[in-house]
Amino acid sequence: MTALERLGPLPATTGAPYLVTTGVDRRAVAVEVTADASVTVVEMTVHGRWSEQLGGQVADAVRLCLAGPTRAIIIDLRDVGDLHGSSLPFWAAAARSARLAPIPARLALCLPPGTMLDHRLRHTEAGVPRAFPTMAEARIVLAGPLVRTHRRMQGRLPAHPRSVRAARDLVARACQAWQLNRIRHDAALVMSELAANAVEHAGTDAVATVVGDGSRLHLAVRDGDTRYPRFTERKSGQLGRSLGERGRGLRLVHAVAVAWGAMPARGGKVVWATVSPQTGPALGAGLDSREPGDAGPPGGVPTGTG
């Protein structure tokens, strides 16, 4: 499969979790991905000489990002060798994939002015991503409007069991403010598990984010541990029984969320999940999430609302 073909939609058989990892070649890191705390904005840094192999790695990373709530992808190409600008068709296809994703996203490139790729991008009338000379300029243009226009609530979570309740309360406030009570239970259940995973396994302070998108909620928890959560799906026929017995962990997230995954973040990672009415009637109903923080007041500190 060519790099262009790999930019197509993820097959339905791929399924969650969507785990974005660092791409490497025989010599060094080739593709690095860094998400913000909400996974709304993702930055990607590409290294090396442009080739079919490198394009394939970028395509895989872009597709995994588009499986989640990402609205903007900024790709740093300042360390990519492309003397003749031959990667232009790839970037046009990548921009199209982003526009046509289930959650449409904008894609922008950062590259030195005066290169052949920069020249070709600026002289192509339509269908190609916008080019910026610096990452800072790209962030202002792409990320700024998202922060101002999206419904968003965010809270800091200390590395303490009480933070699980605080994260759940954050979801409850968001659902009440945005009239999303239909998915309140499932969303709170999923957020509880994401927060508990950060408290128990990362052991660092974290940031919980809730973003409203129509009838959906995008949930994310950023912590200071780079290790990804481990997930092993139960065999067919065992899931219902195991959920009834445990009502715990990432298997519950897998069952309740329409999609979930993880991305690298600066100094850690972000684990995200999307909850929608289409997940079914209260899949988590009757199941108790982990509540190690039930003894005592909420531990999170709200830092913003949308």
pTM, two decimals, is 0.84
Alpha helices by DSSP H, the chain:
52-66, 88-99, 116-122, 135-149, 162-177, 184-197, 239-246, 249-256
What is the model's pLDDT at position 148? 61
Is the domain of 212 the same as that of 284? Answer: yes
Please give the Cα distance from 119 to 12 (Å, whole number).
Answer: 38
Q: Judge whether 165 and 291 are in contact, CB under 8 Å.
A: yes
What local confidence, expressed as pLDDT, does residue 171 receive? 98
> Which CATH number belongs to the domain containing residue 209 in this structure?
3.30.565.10
What secondary structure letter does DSSP report for 201?
I
Distance separating alpha carbons of residues 256 and 285, to the nearest angstrom = 10
**Where a domain ends, among 97, 120, 147?**
147
Residues 19 and 95 in one domain: yes
Give the pLDDT score at 289: 47
Domain co-membership, 15 together with 116: yes
Which tokens is 156 given?
Answer: 């800091």
143 and 161 in a common domain: no
Q: Residue 71 sits in which domain range?
A: 5-147
> Based on the domain organization, do 79 and 158 belong to the same domain?
no
Q: Are residues 135 and 160 in the same domain?
A: no
Q: Are residues 230 and 169 in the same domain?
A: yes
Rounded to an integer, what distance in angstroms lies between the CA atom of residue 161 and that of residue 179?
A: 28
On whether both 125 and 167 belong to a single domain, the answer is no
Domain final position from 147, 169, 193: 147
Chain centroid offset of residue 215 CA: 18
Q: Identify the pLDDT of residue 149.
A: 58
The residue out of 118, 147, 176 marking a domain boundary is 147
- What is the full per-residue pLDDT of the chain (306 aa) written as tens digits? 788 778 876 655 456 789 998 877 666 769 999 999 999 999 999 999 999 999 999 999 999 999 999 999 999 999 999 999 999 999 999 999 999 998 899 999 999 999 999 999 999 988 899 999 999 999 999 987 776 656 899 999 999 999 999 999 999 999 999 999 999 999 999 999 999 999 998 999 999 999 999 899 999 999 999 999 876 655 444 433 333 333 357 889 999 999 999 999 999 999 999 999 975 444 444 444 444 433 333 333 334 444
Residues 67 and 162 in one domain: no
Q: Is the same domain home to 169 and 261?
A: yes
- One domain, residues 231 and 142: no
Distance set, CA 132 to CA 10, 114, 138, 141, 198 (Å): 28, 12, 6, 10, 36
* Residues 183 and 136: beta-carbon distance below 8 Å: no
> Both 142 and 14 in a single domain?
yes
Question: What pLDDT, on a 0 to 100 scale, did the predictor assign at position 233?
Answer: 58
CATH of residue 112: 3.30.750.24
Number of domains in the chain: 2
Three-state DSSP state, 277: helix
